[in-house]
Chains A and B, each alone.
Chain A
Amino acid sequence: MFYRTAGQFKTSYEADHALFPVRQDAYLLGFILLLAFVVFPLTASEFAFRALLIPVLIYSLAALGLNILTGYAGQLSLGTGAFMGVGAYACYKLLTIFPEMNIVIAIAMSGFFSAAVGVLFGLPSLRIKGFYLAIATLAAQFFLVWLFQKWAWLYNYNASGAIQVPNIEMFGITVAGPRAEAITQYYFVLCFVCAMTFFAINITRGRIGRMWKAVRDMDIAAELVGINLMRAKLTAFFVSSYIVGVSGALFVFLWRGAAEANLFDIPLSFRVLFIAIIGGLGSILGNYLGAILIVALPVIIGSVPEAFGIPIGSATVEHLNVMLVGALIITFLIVEPHGLARFWAMIREKLILWPFPH
C-alpha cells in the first residue's frame, strides 16, 4: 500500500534509469532528510549530538569511502585509518599555513592529499591481488602512523605531538574548535555528508561505477572486454581515499577536537571496515545503517542492563561491545552476507508486493 507502483509508467530509458524509479523512494528520502535537518536538531541533546549523531555521520562517510574501494571495486583495504589521518593532518597543515582559508575549502582540499597517498599505495594493486593486497595496505597503515609520529613538521613541532583544533569561524559563527556549539557542527557535518553521498551515488551509478563493478566481479574478464584495469583500480583508490580523507578531516576538526598519531591506528581501520561489512559491501545505504549500529551498540549495552537494575562497569561494557561486534560480524556473514542494506531491500520488495504475497 505504501509502496504501490501502479500508475508510475516509464516512457523512456532515461526515466527508467532515473535516481528514483519508484516515487515512494523519493518520498522516503525526503522524510529522512526532514528528520536529519529539522527533527533531530530540535529534539537532540548535547550528548546525543556529540556521542551519537556526529560520529554516525562521520563514520558512515569513512565507510562510504572504503565501500567504494572494497564493495564496488573489490580491492580489500585495511589502511582506512591511516588515510583518515592523512586527511586530518593535511587539513591541519593547510589551516596553519593559510589561516585565512575557509574551513570548507580546507577540508575539501585535504581530501586530495589523502587521495594522492591512496593512489601511491594503490599502485601495487596492479600487480598484487586479494590477501596480498590487503596486507600491502597494512604497510600504508603502519608506515603512515609512524610518519605522523616522527615527522614533527606535521604537528607544528608541538611538545605534545598532537594536533589541536583552533577556534575557526565561518560567517561569524564558530564552527570548529573548543568554542563551537554541537548543533553548528552537526549541520556542518551533515551538509558535507549529504554532498559526498550525492556524489558517491552518482559516480557508482555511472560509467566509472560500472567499470569498478566489472573489475570487482572478475578483473581478467573485465580486461578482456576492454576495461583499462589500471585506470579502474587507480580511480577507485583515488575516489575512495578522497572521501576517506575528508571524513578524517571532519573526524578531527568537527568531532574529536584534537588527535595524535595513535588515533589513526588499526582499530580505527577495522571499525570502519566492520561498518562497511555489517552495513553491506557494495551498497551506499548500508554504510549509514552499519554506522548507526556500531555507534549505538556500546550505548545500548551500557544502558539496557541498567534499566533492568543490573549496573555494569564501563570496562565490561567495552569488552562486551568488542565481543558482540565480533559475534555480529560472524552472524552477518553466515546469515546475510550482503549486510543490513539487504534487509531493507527485502522489506522494500515485500512492501511493493503487499498486500499480495506472490
Chain B
Amino acid sequence: MDTLKGIFVDPFADMIAAPDFLLQVLWEGLVGGVLYALIALGFVLIFKSSRIFNFAQGIMVVFAALTLVGLHEKGVPALLALPLTLGVMFMLAVAIERAVLRPLVNQPDIILFMATIGITLFLIGLGEIIFGGENKVMITEQLGIPTGSFTLEPFGGFVSIEQKDLTAVIGAILLVGVLLLFLNKSKIGRAIRALGDDHQAALSVGISLSTIWVIVWFIAGVIALATGIVWGARAGVSFALEVIAYKALPVLMLGGLESVMGAIIGGLAIGILEKLFEIYWGQPLLGGNTEMWFAYVLALIVLLFRPQGLFGERIIERV
C-alpha cells in the first residue's frame, strides 16, 4: 500500500506543494531535451537522405567541440576558431564520403550502420591522439555567450535560469528554423528530400549522390558543433560527451527515424519526462540515476504499440 502511495500519490503531492521547484525541474528537462533534439536531428538528416543510421553523430559532437577548444588552446582567437572548426567538419564530411560511403554504395543498411560504428572508433582513437583524453573547458565567454544567471520568482519561490542555457535554447530554435527553411525552400534541400524518397529516381534526374552526401554530412557536422558548444558549456569537453549520443537514440525511436518533427518533439518529451521521473519517482523509489535507462524503456514501450515510432513512416513489407 505504501509503495502504491509512493508511486501514484506522493510525487503529485510534492509537485503541487512546491510548484516553483517543479518549474525548475521542467526548465532543466527542457534544456536537456533541446540538446537531445539537436543530436537526433543530425541522425534524422543523414537517415532521411541516405538511409544510413549514423552512429558516429555522437563522436562528431565530441570531435567538433574538441577541435574548437583545441584550436583556441593553440592560440587561435575564438571567433576565428569557429570557422576553422567548420572547415575541419567539412573536410571530415568529404573524407567520410570518399573513404567509407562511396565504396559501400548499395550495400545493405546494416553494413553501413556497422561502418559508422567503425568511423566512431576511428574518430575516438584519432581524437585522443591529437587532443589527449583529459577534460577541457568550453570557451564559452570567448565566443560571446553570456554566462551569468538570473532568477524568476513565480508562486512565491524562485527559479534560477542560467543565461547560457537560455542562449542554447534560443540558438537551437534559430538553427532548426534555418535548417527547415533550407530543407523546404532551397534547391539543395529539395535534392536532399528527393534522395530520401528514392535514390534511383533522384540519380536519374541528375542529382549527384556524392555531392549531396557531403553536404548532408557537413550539415550534420554543423549541428554537431552547435550541440558540442552548448553541451560542452554545461559539462566540459571530453570523450564522456559521447554518452549523449546514446541518449539521442531513444529519441529517434520515439519520434521515428525519418521525421524531423519527431526528432524535435521526441527530444523535448524525453528531456522533460526523464527529469520528472528521476526527481519524483527515481530518487525516492529506485535509488536514483534512472536517467541512464528511462528514455530507452519509454521508447521501448511506445514501440510496442507503434513499431515505427510516433511520427515515422509506416513500414510496408512485401515478399
Stretch binding the partner chain, chosen from A28-36, A167-175, A181-189, A330-338:
A330-338
Selected from A76, A134, A139, A325, the residue in CB contact (under 8 A) with B121 is A325
Write out the residue numbers on chain A whose beta carbons fall within 8 Å of the beta carbon of B123.
Answer: 326
Shortest A236–chain B CB gap in Å is 16
Q: Chain B, 172-190, contact with A by CB distance < 8 Å: what is the 0/1 string?
A: 0000000000000000000
Q: Does B249 contact A (CB under 8 A)?
A: yes
B118 touches A127 (CB 8 A): no
Q: Does A270 contact B (CB under 8 A)?
A: yes
Q: Does B6 contact A (CB under 8 A)?
A: no
Selected from B114, B121, B246, B250, the residue in CB contact (under 8 A) with A266 is B246
Q: Chain B, 79-117, contact with A by CB distance < 8 Å: what is the 0/1 string?
A: 000000000000000000001100110010111011101
Interchain pairs with CB closer than 8 A, number: 134
B129 touches A138 (CB 8 A): no
Q: Give B278-319 interface residues, CB cut-off 8 Å to A.
A: 286-287, 289-290, 292-293, 296-297, 299-300, 303-304, 307-309, 315, 317-319
Write out the residue numbers on chain B whose beta carbons fall within 8 Å of the beta carbon of A128.
Answer: 303-304, 307
A149 touches B289 (CB 8 A): yes
Alpha-carbon separation in the docked complex, A319 to B100 (Å): 21
Q: Does B128 contact A (CB under 8 A)?
A: yes
B246 touches A131 (CB 8 A): no
10 smallest CB-CB distances across A and B, nearest first, come from A323-B125, A326-B121, A326-B122, A329-B118, A139-B296, A322-B125, A330-B118, A143-B293, A142-B293, A319-B128
A277 touches B257 (CB 8 A): no
A330 touches B122 (CB 8 A): yes
B249 touches A135 (CB 8 A): yes
Q: Does B218 contact A (CB under 8 A)?
A: no
A-B contact pairs, 11 of them (CB 8 A): A127-B303, A129-B315, A131-B53, A135-B253, A136-B303, A143-B297, A270-B117, A319-B133, A322-B124, A323-B121, A337-B111
B296 touches A143 (CB 8 A): yes
Given the interface pairs A139-B300, A319-B129, A333-B111, the reply to whether A132 lies near B253 with Cβ below 8 Å is yes
Write out the residue numbers on chain B whose beta carbons fall within 8 Å of the beta carbon of A329.
Answer: 114-115, 117-118, 121
Write out the residue numbers on chain B whose beta carbons fall within 8 Å of the beta carbon of A136.
Answer: 253, 296, 299-300, 303
A320 touches B246 (CB 8 A): no
Alpha-carbon separation in the docked complex, A334 to B109 (Å): 13
B307 touches A127 (CB 8 A): yes
A146 touches B296 (CB 8 A): no
B289 touches A135 (CB 8 A): no
A326 touches B319 (CB 8 A): no
Q: Does A299 contact B (CB under 8 A)?
A: no
Shortest B106–chain A CB gap in Å is 12
Shortest B270–chain A CB gap in Å is 13
Alpha-carbon separation in the docked complex, A266 to B129 (Å): 22
Q: Give A90-136 interface residues, CB cut-off 8 Å to B.
A: 124, 127-132, 134-136
A150 touches B286 (CB 8 A): yes
A220 touches B253 (CB 8 A): no
Counting contact residues on chain A (CB < 8 A from B), the size range is 35 or more
Q: Does A194 contact B (CB under 8 A)?
A: no
Shortest A275–chain B CB gap in Å is 13
A135 touches B250 (CB 8 A): yes
Write out the residue numbers on chain A whose beta carbons fall within 8 Å of the beta carbon of B109.
Answer: 130-131
Q: Does A321 contact B (CB under 8 A)?
A: yes
Given the interface pairs A135-B249, A220-B319, A270-B117, the reply to whether A127 lies near B304 with Cβ below 8 Å is yes
A334 touches B292 (CB 8 A): no
B243 to chain A: closest residue by CB: A266
Q: Give A278-332 interface residues, CB cut-off 8 Å to B.
A: 315-316, 318-330
A326 touches B119 (CB 8 A): yes
Q: 16 additional contacts, CB 8 Å, given A132-B257, A334-B104?
A: A128-B307, A135-B299, A139-B293, A143-B297, A146-B289, A146-B292, A221-B319, A266-B246, A319-B133, A323-B122, A323-B125, A325-B121, A326-B125, A330-B115, A337-B107, A337-B111
Selected from A315, A319, A333, the residue in CB contact (under 8 A) with B115 is A333
Write out the residue numbers on chain B whose beta carbons fall within 8 Å of the beta carbon of A131.
Answer: 53, 109, 113, 257
Q: Does A84 contact B (CB under 8 A)?
A: no
Q: Does A218 contact B (CB under 8 A)?
A: yes
Selected from A142, A221, A277, the residue in CB contact (under 8 A) with B114 is A277
Alpha-carbon separation in the docked complex, A327 to B100 (Å): 10
Write out the residue numbers on chain A whose beta carbons fall within 8 Å of the beta carbon of B100.
Answer: 330, 334
Selected from A146, A322, A330, the residue in CB contact (under 8 A) with B99 is A330
Alpha-carbon separation in the docked complex, A136 to B299 (Å): 8
B290 touches A146 (CB 8 A): yes
Selected from B114, B117, B128, B296, the residue in CB contact (under 8 A) with A135 is B296
